[in-house]
């Protein structure tokens, strides 16, 4: 056999593209002439099978859970299962079956008889089921969908879905297969709990509702409602700061790598959709990045620079500063007025040479910058800590924090009786979260110093978890408060807080406060204006400090923040106190920044999660909150409103959005009954509304994707087109794992979705929308199994201390971003096989041996020349398929064969010889050497030959995914092996090349998985045409996944549904059988 022939044989049977299938179909065509009923084919095939197959695959032995005897029992009676038929064609043709070590083997003719029969049976099956919508039982909201739907309903990232149980996979491996989703009482209880949790984020008043992203106390009365609103207003301000920080920390570098010129036409940002963004943030984003290497203030001479990007910049910056300064009368600090005047004078000095003028501006800017820096530092002075009220130790403290990661506190007690050591999380979801309070001592009135041992022993944990350690140390968890009784006569208390060693490299950021009063609920949240405690040696911390300084350099706090008292008077009892907000006030800066052409360009650079959150919306949100507060204050018992009317008006739109349909009077009456009942019992409005909402969130209309219209029972099973809203819902759950948006719904209501072109157009729009991130999580994440990799703890901790939680998190993020990029920007799916771009942050970059990446944020990088290509070079795959103490070429190889190429292997026998736990066995043999021995046994080789070479090629990546040239015994890594088809594979790059040669298999697998995911069911024989169309679509469109999605969306499978015959809900559980073959007894 030539190697060309060998190659084609690797294109597996499923669809008629490979040589093997052509042969099979010819055989069946030939048989059809002489054997119109198929009986002869069946008889001869059965004879062959009986001779060679039944000894293992009969009812008694059922090897590989397969009973071929039953398949052949009756030419018409046994439901033909397409996967079994496919396996027959495939495995017999490849001579994988009967296995090498079988006693007897069929000859070529016999094999063709068997293949021919199975091939023609498969054809019959495919013809009978062609484009059958298949059995799709209405799915229930799974955990991921629930989270997204709640997000889309409330506009807030509410985490209530965490209370729901995880869904097992089914069908093609996904969590949205209705048939496999049980609904036990336990499930219903969890949905009740999730509804409770969701509703705790709501404040409802007759004037309106406000959703909030943190949990609120359930209000007892109007004051409680007001308290919550007040809290939300405060949170709004915190969010503003937070958003700013996030812009810095997370998103910008990812979208905005210094080495990538975003203005280049082919730059990776070039295809971002321009959108109306937040111009302030755009400006900040833009400046921050540029400011990094332009010290101290980003003004440099424009004329002398040649690089286009930089040539643009200084000009912008000069204009920005001009914009800021040339507004007369707006600068209240005299200092600014002074600078502004000088600047204006410079601007007016038209006869000054450009170089000189820029230099003068730069000097001026530096002059401006220095005091600004001082002000900025002062701003960072923690406002509420007791320890800093005294002021003069501030610099020493800052130094200690920055250089050693230790917070020293010194508190003059002034007659206080108790203090509260408070530990708060600083906002990073993955940051861990313990703090050690140590070296506490009291300075007594007589000047003596007393250790705090006794106080520690007596300390009381009021909130959260904390415990005394050895040597009078308190170990506290974020979210905890420890109350410390002060000894009589103590005048000064000193204590130090630091992160425990173990937390340091995890990128922990925690905030510590010493307070005199017991902090209330939300004081335990991280407050952005207070300084966090960080470990200065970690890259995480470096990035944090670095970016803060860049921020400071670019934007002065004075310009962008102003402290003000948030007006509460009249709404709140005095006891709630006053609150200071930090308002952003950089309008002058923004207005001076860019022209009409520049703004959209900047908007394109805006981090995606900030787009769509336009400034207008956020201000409107604040206005609305004030409005509610005002309404509450104005409303009084003497001024009765028709609460019921209000409630109905508020519940209707929510119910319609949640139930994805119009509300009937009956629907509303049912929900309103609870509201009435609650009010009658004297419950406040908020509680009554929530009781009604709970019904909305636990009703089947919310939890299930109910068909909007019944087609009515039919006598025989039939198909019917999906109604408009049903189709909209199917599409949005397929692409967003959530509910449709307004655009999609209005198209549905106009009946336009029935037009496949419109439907496909919508699919394209939705893929571009950030919500298509769901595909990375729910589709790719489950296909390739990297969901929750961030919690992976496989590698042995002693051998691989480098495998930290932040590294695992970065590896998962890499996968998510890679697939999100693939779908949202419609990039070739072949990148999965050999793509040489990926996403990393500093931690992962270092792990991969890449340089020039700093910060915790993920950003795109090129992998040229690293030998790391495609999914096979990604950490989550390499580590996830290693053993604690070594790599596993077998697991890696099997994974590639099954997950990437879609092949299926029989389960290995249990009693196979095992490889050693570590890289060398007792005889000193390496894993590849042990495998080679293993493969000398024919029964092992039949499978191992297919995947060992993959795993061996990847031996250059160690068990935690680092590149290596030598193994742990300092021997050069052997990463060359030969496939059964004679192709030699060397190293990861060689494997990527090889996989590209088998791209047909991968594409086939991709199509099957996508069909299974988007339809929520197993792929059936009748999907063959659809998959063929998808393949063709992919080939014609540069393998962009959008083409495959469009084919599915246009298909009958997607746009129709089966209507089962009445009264037989379960009789239709299996796929319809093909027209029966004629009865052999009447045929002869």
Partner 1 sequence: MNRYSTPTSSLSRRAVLRGLGATLALPWLESLAPLTRLAAQPGGITTVPAGPPRRFATVLFANGVNVEHWWARGAGDAMELSPTLQSLAPFRRDMLVMNKLEYFGDTSGPHWPQFTNFLSGASLRRSTIPDAAESVDQMIARHVGRHTFVPSLNLGIEPVESGLRLGVPAIYYSTVSWSAKNNPIPPEIYPRAAYDRLFDVDGLLENKSVLDAVLSQTRRVRRNLDGHDRAKLEEFSEGVRSIEQRIARAAADERLEGWRPTLEKADMDRPPEERPQDYRDHMKIMLDLLVLALQMDRTRVVTLVMNNDVSRQKFDFIEGVRGQMHGISHHQNKADRLAMYQKVNAWHVEHLAYLMERMRSIDEGNGTLLDNTMLLFGSNMMDGDIHDGRELPLILAGGRNCEMRTGRVVTYEDPAERELCNLHLAIAQRMGCRVDRFGDSTMPLPNLT
Residues 207-236 binding partner 1 (CB under 8 A) are: 217-218, 220
CA distance 542 to 147: 33
Least Cα distance to 1023 among 1056, 1058, 1048 occurs for 1048
Distance in Å from the first CA to the final CA of the chain: 41
Q: Is 711 in the site for partner 1 (CB under 8 A)?
A: yes
Cβ atoms within 10 Å of 378's Cβ, excluding its own: 11
Query: Residue 30 Cβ, how far from partner 1 at the closest point, in Å?
Result: 33
Distances from the Cα of 313 to the Cαs of 295, 321, 938, 1051, 1068, in angstroms? 14, 12, 67, 50, 67
Closest by CA to 586, choosing from 365, 866, 257, 278, is 278
**Binders of partner 1 in range 646-675 (CB under 8 A):** 666-667, 670-671, 673-674
Distance CA 213, CA 160 (A): 11
Beta strands 490-498; 480-485: pairing state = unpaired
Looking at the Cβ atoms of 120 and 1018, the one nearer to partner 1 is: 1018
Judged by CB under 8 A, which stretch of 169-177, 254-262, 346-354, 451-459 contacts partner 1?
169-177
Write each residue from 82 to 121 as x if it is in contact with partner 1 (CB under 8 A), else as -, in one continuous string: ----------------------------------------
* Residues 66 and 57: beta-carbon distance below 8 Å: yes
* Cβ at position 703, least distance to partner 1 in Å: 8
Largest CA distance in the chain: 117
**Which residues from 431-490 bind partner 1, rule CB under 8 A?**
465
DSSP 847: H
Least distance (Å) between residue 225 CB and partner 1: 12
Part in contact with partner 1 (CB under 8 A); list of ranges 493-501, 608-616, 683-691, 1035-1043: 683-691
Q: How far is the CB of 687 from partner 1 (least distance, A)?
A: 5
Site for partner 1 in 834-873 (CB under 8 A): none
The verdict on 790 binding partner 1 (CB under 8 A) reads no
Which CB sits closer to partner 1, 325 or 900? 900
* Residues 1061/716, Cβ–Cβ less than 8 Å: yes
SS3 call for 571: coil
Contacts of 731 (CB under 8 A, 6+ apart): 740, 744, 753, 759, 762, 763, 766, 1049
In angstroms, what is the minimal distance from the CB of 330 to partner 1? 47
Binding segment (CB under 8 A) for partner 1, from list 160-168, 229-237, 503-511, 607-615: 160-168
Using rule CB under 8 A, residue 178 touches partner 1: yes
Q: Contacting partner 1 (CB under 8 A), which of 1062, 1070, 1075, 1076?
A: 1062
Residue 348 contacts residue 337 (beta carbons within 8 Å): no
Phi, psi (5° rounding) for residue 134? 80, 175
* Torsional sign, CA 76, 81, 84, 85: positive
d(CA 934, CA 657): 60
Kindly report the backbone phi and psi dihedral angles of residue 144, in degrees, each rounded to the nearest multiple of 5, phi listed first: -65, -40
Contact segment (CB under 8 A) with partner 1 among 192-200, 329-337, 943-951, 1001-1009 equals 192-200
Q: Count of CB atoms within 10 A of residue 83's CB?
A: 14
Q: Does 261 bind partner 1 (CB under 8 A)?
A: no
Q: Any contact of residue 135 with partner 1 (CB under 8 A)? A: yes
Answer positive or negative: Cα dihedral of 507, 513, 518, 520.
negative
By the 8 A CB rule, do 442 and 449 touch?
Answer: yes
Q: Report the distance separating Cα 357 and Cα 318, nearest Å.
A: 11
The least CB distance from residue 896 to partner 1, in Å, is 15
**CB contact at 8 A, 45 and 117:** yes
185 binds partner 1 (CB under 8 A): yes
* Cα separation values, 622 from 231, 563, 708, 891, Å: 12, 17, 37, 54
Q: How far is the CB of 183 from partner 1 (least distance, A)?
A: 5
Specify the residue, 552 or 661, whose C-beta has the smaller distance to partner 1: 661
Q: Which is nearer to partner 1, 178 or 721 (CB)?
A: 178
User: Three-state SS for 976?
Assistant: strand
DSSP state of 250: I
Distance separating alpha carbons of residues 500 and 290, to the nearest angstrom: 36
Binding to partner 1 by residue 356, rule CB under 8 A? no
Q: What pairs with residue 977 in β-bridges?
A: 985
Contact stretch for partner 1 (CB under 8 A) within 164-172, 203-211, 437-445, 548-556:
164-172
Using the minimum distance from each CB to partner 1, give the nearer residue, 725 or 1050. 725
Least distance (Å) from partner 1 to the CB of residue 788? 8
- Shortest distance in whole angstroms from residue 894 CB to partner 1: 10
Tell the smallest beta-carbon distance from residue 476 to partner 1 (Å).
14
Q: Collapsing DSSP states into helix, strand and coil, what is residue 919?
A: coil
**What phi, psi does 430 have (nearest 5°)?**
-95, 0
296-300: long-range pairs with CB below 8 Å, 24+ = 296/366, 296/369, 296/553, 297/362, 297/365, 297/366, 297/368, 297/369, 297/553, 298/553, 298/554, 299/358, 299/361, 299/362, 299/365, 300/358, 300/362
| Contacts to partner 1 from residues 1002-1061, by CB under 8 A | 1018, 1059-1061
Identify residues 33-72 at the interface with partner 1 (CB under 8 A). Answer: 65
Stretch that binds partner 1, among 108-116, 694-702, 816-824, 832-840 (CB under 8 A): 694-702
> Which of 710, 746, 1036, 1070 is close enough to bind partner 1 by CB under 8 A?
710
Does position 131 interact with partner 1 (CB under 8 A)? The reply is no
Instruction: Give the residue, chosen from 312, 416, 450, 885, that forms a contact with partner 1 under the rule CB under 8 A.
Output: 885
Options 118-126, 359-367, 408-416, 903-911: segment touching partner 1 (CB under 8 A)? 903-911
Q: Which is nearer to partner 1, 168 or 849 (CB)?
A: 168
**By CB under 8 A, residue 163 contacts partner 1:** yes
| Residue 724 makes contact with partner 1 by CB under 8 A | no
Confirm or reject binding of residue 179 to partner 1 (CB under 8 A).
yes
Q: Residue 948: which residues within 8 A CB-CB, separation 6 or more?
A: 889, 890, 893, 931, 935, 977
Nearest approach in angstroms of CB 138 to partner 1 is 5
ω before 98 within 30° of 0 (cis)?
A: yes
Looking at 238, 419, 687, 897, which residue binds partner 1 (CB under 8 A)? 687
Q: Where are the alpha helices (DSSP H) in 699-739?
A: 700-703, 724-736
Using rule CB under 8 A, residue 570 touches partner 1: no
Interaction of residue 73 with partner 1, rule CB under 8 A? no
Query: Out of 17, 70, 94, 137, which residue is the one contacting partner 1 (CB under 8 A)?
Result: 137
Least distance to partner 1, CB of residue 1059, Å = 6
Of 585, 591, 701, 1073, the one binding partner 1 (CB under 8 A) is: 701
Tell which positions 1065-1084 bind partner 1, by CB under 8 A: 1065-1066, 1068-1069
Using the rule CB under 8 A, which residue among 79, 155, 182, 573 binds partner 1? 182
Residue 1001 within binding range of partner 1, rule CB under 8 A: no
112 vs 667, which CB is nearer to partner 1?
Answer: 667
From 401-409, 610-618, 865-873, 910-918, give the range in contact with partner 1 by CB under 8 A.
910-918
Number of residues that bind partner 1 (CB under 8 A): 96
State the nearest-atom distance from the C-beta of 654 to partner 1, in Å.
15
What is the nearest approach in angstroms of partner 1 to the Cβ of residue 359? 58
d(CA 1020, CA 1051): 14
Q: Which residues, numbered 283-302, are part of the site for partner 1 (CB under 8 A)?
A: none
d(CA 988, CA 867): 6
Single residue of 29, 634, 713, 750 touching partner 1 by CB under 8 A: 713
């Amino acid at each position: 056999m030539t190697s060309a022939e060998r190659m084609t044989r690797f294109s597996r049977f499923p669809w008629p593209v490979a040589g093997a299938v052509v042969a099979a179909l010819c055989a069946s065509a030939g048989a059809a002439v002489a054997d119109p009923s198929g009986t002869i084919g069946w008889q001869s095939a059965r004879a062959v099978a009986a001779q060679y197959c039944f000894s293992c695959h009969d009812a008694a032995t059922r090897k590989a859970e397969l009973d071929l005897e039953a398949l052949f029992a009756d030419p018409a009676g046994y439901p033909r299962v397409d996967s079994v038929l496919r396996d027959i064609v495939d495995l017999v043709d490849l001579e994988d079956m009967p296995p090498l070590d079988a006693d007897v083997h069929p000859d070529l003719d016999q094999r063709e008889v068997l293949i021919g029969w199975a091939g023609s049976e498969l054809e019959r099956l495919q013809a009978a089921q062609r484009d059958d919508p298949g059995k799709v039982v209405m799915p229930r909201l799974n955990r991921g969908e629930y989270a997204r739907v709640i997000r889309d309903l409330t506009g807030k990232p509410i985490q209530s879905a965490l209370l729901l149980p995880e869904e097992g996979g089914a069908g093609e491996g996904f969590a949205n297969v209705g048939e496999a989703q049980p609904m036990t009482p336990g499930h219903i209880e969890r949905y009740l709990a999730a509804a409770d949790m969701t509703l705790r984020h709501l404040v409802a008043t007759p004037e309106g509702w406000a959703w909030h992203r943190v949990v609120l106390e359930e209000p007892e009365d109007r004051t409680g409602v007001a308290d919550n609103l007040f809290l939300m207003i405060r949170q709004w301000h915190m969010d503003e700061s937070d958003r700013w920080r996030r812009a810095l920390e997370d998103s910008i570098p990812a979208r905005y790598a210094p080495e990538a010129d975003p203005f280049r036409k082919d730059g990776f940002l070039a295809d971002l959709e321009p959108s109306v963004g937040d111009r302030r943030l755009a400006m900040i984003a833009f400046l921050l990045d540029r400011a990094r290497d332009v010290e101290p203030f980003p003004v440099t001479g424009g004329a002398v620079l040649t690089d286009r990007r930089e040539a643009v910049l200084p000009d912008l910056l000069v204009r920005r500063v001009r914009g800021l300064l040339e507004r007369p009368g707006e600068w209240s600090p005299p200092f600014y007025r002074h600078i502004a005047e000088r600047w204006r004078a410079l601007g007016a000095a038209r006869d000054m040479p450009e170089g000189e003028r820029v230099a003068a501006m730069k000097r001026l800017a530096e002059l401006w910058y220095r005091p600004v820096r001082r002000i900025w530092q002062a701003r960072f002075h923690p406002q509420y800590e007791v320890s800093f009220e005294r002021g003069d130790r501030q610099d020493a403290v800052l130094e200690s924090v920055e250089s050693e990661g230790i917070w020293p506190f010194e508190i003059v007690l002034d007659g206080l009786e108790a203090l509260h050591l408070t530990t708060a999380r600083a906002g990073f979801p993955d940051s861990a979260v313990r703090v050690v309070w140590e070296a506490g001592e009291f300075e007594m009135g007589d000047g003596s110093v007393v250790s705090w041992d006794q106080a520690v022993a007596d300390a009381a944990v009021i909130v959260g978890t904390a415990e005394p350690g050895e040597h009078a140390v308190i170990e506290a968890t974020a979210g905890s408060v420890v109350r410390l009784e002060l000894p009589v006569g103590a005048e000064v208390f000193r204590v130090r807080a630091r992160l425990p060693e173990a937390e340091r490299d995890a990128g922990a950021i925690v905030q510590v406060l010493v307070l005199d009063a017991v902090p209330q609920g939300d004081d335990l949240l991280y407050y952005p204006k207070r300084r966090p405690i960080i470990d200065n040696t970690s890259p995480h911390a470096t990035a944090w400090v670095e970016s803060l300084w860049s921020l400071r350099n670019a934007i002065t706090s004075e310009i962008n923040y102003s402290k003000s008292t948030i007006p509460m008077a009249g709404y709140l009892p005095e006891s709630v106190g006053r609150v200071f907000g930090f308002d952003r006030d950089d309008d002058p800066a923004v207005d001076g920044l860019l022209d009409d052409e520049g703004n959209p360009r900047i908007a394109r650079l805006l981090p995606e999660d900030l787009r769509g959150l336009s400034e207008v919306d956020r201000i409107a949100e604040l206005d609305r909150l004030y409005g509610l507060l005002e309404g509450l204050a104005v409303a009084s018992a003497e001024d009765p409103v028709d609460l019921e009317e209000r409630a109905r008006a508020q519940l209707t739109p929510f119910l319609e959005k949640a139930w994805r349909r119009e509300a009937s009077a009956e629907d509303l009456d049912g929900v309103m009954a609870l509201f009435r009942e609650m009010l009658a019992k004297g419950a406040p409005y908020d509680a009554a509304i929530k009781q009604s909402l709970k019904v909305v969130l636990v009703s089947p209309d919310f939890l299930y994707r109910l068909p909007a219209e019944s087609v009515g029972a039919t006598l025989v099973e039939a198909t019917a087109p999906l109604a408009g809203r049903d189709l909209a819902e199917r599409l949005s759950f397929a692409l967003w794992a959530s509910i449709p948006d307004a655009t999609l719904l209005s198209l549905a209501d106009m009946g336009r979705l029935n037009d496949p072109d419109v439907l496909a157009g919508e699919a394209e729009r939705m893929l571009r929308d950030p919500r298509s991130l769901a595909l990375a999580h729910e589709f790719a994440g489950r296909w390739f199994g990297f969901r929750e990799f961030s919690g992976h703890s496989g590698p042995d901790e002693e051998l691989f201390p480098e495998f930290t939680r932040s590294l695992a998190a970065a590896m998962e993020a890499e996968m998510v971003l890679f697939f999100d990029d693939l779908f949202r920007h419609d990039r070739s799916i072949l990148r999965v096989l050999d793509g040489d771009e990926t996403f990393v942050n500093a931690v992962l970059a270092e792990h991969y041996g890449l340089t020039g990446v700093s910060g915790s944020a993920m950003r795109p990088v090129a992998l040229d020349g690293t030998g790391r290509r495609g999914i096979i070079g990604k950490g989550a795959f390499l580590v996830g398929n290693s053993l604690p103490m070594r790599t596993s070429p077998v697991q890696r190889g099997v994974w590639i064969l099954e997950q990437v190429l879609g092949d299926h292997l029989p389960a290995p026998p249990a009693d196979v010889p095992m490889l050693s736990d570590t890289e060398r066995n007792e005889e000193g043999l390496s894993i590849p050497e042990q495998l080679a021995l293993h493969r000398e046994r024919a029964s092992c080789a039949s499978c191992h030959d297919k995947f060992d070479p993959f795993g061996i090629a990847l031996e250059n990546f160690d068990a935690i995914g680092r590149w290596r040239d030598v193994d742990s015994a300092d021997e050069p890594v052997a990463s060359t092996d030969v496939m059964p088809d004679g192709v030699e594979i060397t190293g990861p790059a060689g494997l990527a090349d090889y996989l590209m040669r088998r791209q047909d298999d991968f594409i086939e697998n991709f199509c099957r998985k996508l069909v299974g995911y988007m339809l929520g069911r197993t792929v059936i024989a009748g999907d063959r045409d659809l998959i063929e169309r998808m393949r063709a679509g992919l080939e014609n469109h540069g393998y962009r996944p959008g083409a495959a999605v469009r084919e599915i969306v246009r298909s009958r499978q997607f746009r129709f549904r089966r209507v089962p015959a009445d009264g037989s809900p379960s009789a239709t559980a299996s796929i319809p059988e093909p027209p029966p073959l004629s009865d052999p007894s009447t045929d002869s």
